[in-house]
Amino acid sequence: ILEDTYNLMKVIKRGREVVSGSIAERICDSYKQLSLAEKETFFNMLVSDHGVAETTKIGITLDRSNPVESIQRLQNLRHITQPQFAGLFRVLGKAQGGVKFMVNMRTDLSKLTGKSTVEATPAVVPVIDHELKQLLSVWFSSGLFHLQRATWESPSRLLEKVAASEAVHPILGWQDLKRRVGAYKRCFVFTHPCLPGEPLVILHAALLENVADTMEKIVPALFEHMPDSVEDPARVKVANFYSISRPIDGLSGIDLGSNIVRRVMHRLQAEYPKLQHFSSLSPIPGFNNWLFGQINRHLQHEVFARILDDVRPESSDLLPLFSDETHVKMMQLFDVDNNKDLYTKLSMTLESQEWITSPVLVSELKQPLMKLCARYLFALKHRGHALDPIANFHLRNGAVMYRLCWQADQSPNGLSQSCGMMVNYRYYPELTEGFSEKYYFTKRIPVGEPFASVISIEPDSLPLDP
């Protein structure tokens, strides 16, 4: 593979990419046979031997009075500063199965993160990943996505991929799968010409009479009807999206478009023209990690303060977890008289998950945990947009952060992710495009009255439910 790579790079440097197909296919085939350690060596070779052509001093002057020449200079600069192996990737991507090869290569790079045996690898991985991500982002244009409904009559290979990819609410065998693609259920699959037959996005929906605020209202519905039942249009009032997955690790971080849910909505409305209500019931996968991180920071702050004889710094970037009134109630609830014991007991209680069986704890923890979760969803940002990836996905698709749902998922997974809380992201067909654009450009999060009431902010003006 190293010899083929050197030969292919020679061909590319001569500008004769068109005759390099057979070599590219050999490289793809050889790469598949490598162990992860050998792939690591290959990645390091790409950067060391095919990174920068030579030491070059770069200078550029741009003249606004001559925009064409300035653009040409920028294009030349882009060509000079691009790693040589980027040209290799472009050629490999054109080979038979080349795009899948690129996707699998990104998956291998992710496996090396934090597990490399070569000293240079931690710096090499992000360099190669950046170039692959740039190419894949161009190749996977959202306008080329094909939307299809998976049914029991779909090819078994597709159904097997649907079943294997469901991580949020695992599919328990073929009969369960048959129900999830049967009556009053919808399973939509997005594919792309670059990876024919491979589901890139899988979206599950339940057609119910109301917006579901707990998984118990969706899961029984999965077993309520026989898969071959005839749907009664009068009962189809709300489309509840309860699982959206992206099965291919090598496409993580690739923008697959901000209209995925809107396309599904249009598809459902074509089937049921009177259907106007759309909502998700979504997990909050990062809340507990954030919450325990905050608790640990407060614990460390208390220990630090005690070492300094209780003289706390006058200023701190620590935000209080609770209001003064709630803080007093929490001290009473856990029967403690200092913050260190409070945070320790709170952490142990939430980690054990046994609190969910105590009516007193369920009742007393509801308000403080919901406020913290609402703060996490609404206030925590990454580059101006919602930090929570699922929130960001729905908001980019034009949804409203409508309602925070208490005890929505009491499974061990739901409790370990978000203390059992979930979110309704509502979609209003006539408003989705405007909300999507506003969120993208202004980074403003639209909220419904139920969510706004949790953290005492003004809700957006939304259509009234009938």
pLDDT value for 315: 39
| DSSP bridge partners of 447 | 401
- pLDDT single digits (tens) 425-438: 999 999 999 999 99
pLDDT value for 257: 73
DSSP 3-state assignment of 32? helix
Q: Which tokens is 224 given? A: 């309520």
Q: Which residues contact 216 (CB under 8 A, 6 or more apart)?
A: none
In terms of C-beta density within 10 A (0-12 exposed, 13-18 middle, 19 or more buried), how is residue 456 classed? Answer: exposed
pLDDT value for 314: 42
- pLDDT single digits (tens) 49-104: 887 766 666 777 777 888 888 888 787 777 777 788 888 888 888 888 889 999 99
Residue 30 has pLDDT above 90, yes or no: no
Catalytic residue check, 394: yes
Percentage, residues of the chain above pLDDT 90:
57
Domain ranges for the chain: 2-52+62-139, 143-282, 287-455
Q: Which tokens is 245 given? A: 């997955």
- Choose, from 50, 192, 225, 394, the residue flagged as catalytic: 394
CA 352 vs CA 15, 62, 286, 356: distances in Å: 62, 62, 18, 9
Mean pLDDT of the chain: 87
320 or 185: which leads in pLDDT: 185
Residue 179 has pLDDT above 80, yes or no: yes
CA 18 vs CA 29, 96, 135, 143, 430: distances in Å: 19, 14, 18, 27, 48
Q: How many other C-beta atoms lie within 10 A of the C-beta of residue 128? A: 24
Q: How many other C-beta atoms lie within 10 A of the C-beta of residue 179? A: 22
Q: How many residues does the chain have?
A: 466
465 or 200: which leads in pLDDT: 200
CA 302 vs CA 306, 329, 335, 344: distances in Å: 6, 19, 18, 11
Q: Which residues contact 84 (CB under 8 A, 6 or more apart)?
A: 9, 12, 13, 50, 51, 52, 53
| 2-52+62-139 is classed CATH 3.30.70.980 | no
pLDDT value for 46: 86
In terms of C-beta density within 10 A (0-12 exposed, 13-18 middle, 19 or more buried), how is residue 442 classed? Answer: exposed
- How far is Cα 41 from Cα 47, in angstroms, rounded to an integer? 10
Confidence band (pLDDT; 50, 70, 90) for 7? confident
- How far is Cα 342 from Cα 339, in angstroms, rounded to an integer? 5
Give the domain 287-455 fold. Aminopeptidase (3.40.630)
C-alpha dihedral sign at 189, 175, 172, 423: positive
pLDDT value for 427: 97
| DSSP bridge partners of 277 | 238
8-state DSSP, 404: E
- Choose, from 282, 298, 418, 436, the residue flagged as catalytic: 282
Torsion angles phi and psi, residue 415, rounded to 5: -70, -35
Q: Which tokens is 289 given? A: 């990690």
| DSSP bridge partners of 188 | 149, 203
Catalytic residue check, 30: no
Confidence band (pLDDT; 50, 70, 90) for 366? very high
Q: Which of 165-174, 192-201, 386-395 is the most confident on average?
A: 386-395
In terms of C-beta density within 10 A (0-12 exposed, 13-18 middle, 19 or more buried), how is residue 246 classed? Answer: middle
Q: Which of 333, 328, 320, 323 minimizes the C-alpha distance to 364? A: 333
Residue written as token pair 């792309």: 192
Q: Which of 166, 151, 153 minimizes the C-alpha distance to 201? A: 166
Residue 399 has pLDDT above 50, yes or no: yes
The CATH number of domain 143-282, selected from 3.40.630.150, 3.90.950.20, 3.40.50.620, 1.10.10.60? 3.40.630.150
Residue 159: which H helix or E strand, with range? helix 156-165
Q: Which of 30-44, 305-319, 336-350 is the most confident on average?
A: 336-350
CA 314 vs CA 137, 305, 318: distances in Å: 48, 11, 12
Q: Do domains 143-282 and 287-455 have the same CATH topology?
A: yes
pLDDT value for 303: 64
Lowest mean pLDDT segment, chosen from 84-88, 269-273, 321-325, 410-414: 84-88
Q: Are strands 277-282 and 238-245 parallel, antiparallel or unpaired?
A: parallel
